[in-house]
Amino acid sequence: MHNALDRLWAPWRMAYIKSAKENDEECIFCAKPKQNKDEENLILKRGRKAFIIMNRFPYNNGHVMVSPYRHVASVVDLDDEEGLEVMKLVSLSIRALSEALNPDAFNIGINLGRVAGAGIADHVHIHVVPRWQGDTNFMTVIANTKVMPELLEETYRKLLNAIMKLG
């Protein structure tokens, strides 16, 4: 039995930890679109009722989220226009990720409520996560550590170009 504590130094995570404490009043899905700093905030596409934003702390390279602007906790709270636009942006996300990153498959999901895994439980959002054959390697299996093969900014540029091309 291995009792030693393993450490993986990830100093870039401190920005996330500090921002979580600083932004207790307003969720990222409300705050980021108001700032009009789309590249800095990783916003890829703005619709009338919803938008696409990259996950700053992704599960996988290219992990994006689609969210309505309106602060609602569940898909059942969306009006018809919001629901339609959210799903259109999920579809656009899949097409753009396919164009830019050529994944083999996708995980698409909604975590409704903290117990279901929602990190931001009060503002509904849909995760679109590209997957590749063999994207689980020894680091994930043995060390429980995900290796990200590309910088967020580089992926952002690729996805933004694909979205602009696709509409």
What's the pLDDT score for residue 23?
47
Average pLDDT rounded to a whole number, residues 9-33 = 71
Asked if residue 72 lies in contact with residue 123, where contact means CB atoms within 8 angstroms, the answer is yes
- pLDDT tier at 141 (50, 70, 90 boundaries)? low
pTM above threshold 0.85? no
Average pLDDT rounded to a whole number, residues 133-158 = 73
What's the pLDDT score for residue 76?
96
Active site residue 125: yes
Backbone angles phi, psi at 47, to 5 degrees: -105, -170
Catalytic residue among 63, 123, 125, 127: 125
For residues 96, 91, 33, 39, the Cα torsion angle rounded to the nearest 10 degrees is: 0
How do strand 50-54 and strand 105-109 relate by DSSP bridges? Answer: unpaired
Q: Is the dihedral of CA 156, 23, 128, 90 positive or negative?
A: negative
What's the pLDDT score for residue 26?
78
**Whether the predicted pLDDT of 25 surpasses 90:** no
Compute the mean pLDDT over every residue in the chain, rounded to the nearest whole number: 86
Where do the structural domains in the chain lie, given as residue ranges?
26-166
What's the pLDDT score for residue 20?
52
Cα(128)–Cα(52) distance, integer angstroms: 10
Asked if residue 119 lies in contact with residue 127, where contact means CB atoms within 8 angstroms, the answer is no
Average pLDDT rounded to a whole number, residues 3-13 = 64
**Whether the predicted pLDDT of 12 surpasses 90:** no
Bridge-partner residues for 126, per DSSP? 66
**Whether the predicted pLDDT of 2 surpasses 70:** no
Q: Which CATH code for domain 26-166?
A: 3.30.428.10
Asked if residue 48 lies in contact with residue 85, where contact means CB atoms within 8 angstroms, the answer is yes
What's the pLDDT score for residue 7?
62
Q: Tokens 């942006």 label which residue? A: 89
For the chain, the farthest-separated pair of C-alpha atoms sits apart, in whole angstroms, at 55
- pLDDT tier at 68 (50, 70, 90 boundaries)? very high
**Whether the predicted pLDDT of 55 surpasses 80:** yes
Residues 82-125: tens digit of each pLDDT: 999 999 999 999 999 999 999 999 999 999 888 888 788 899 99
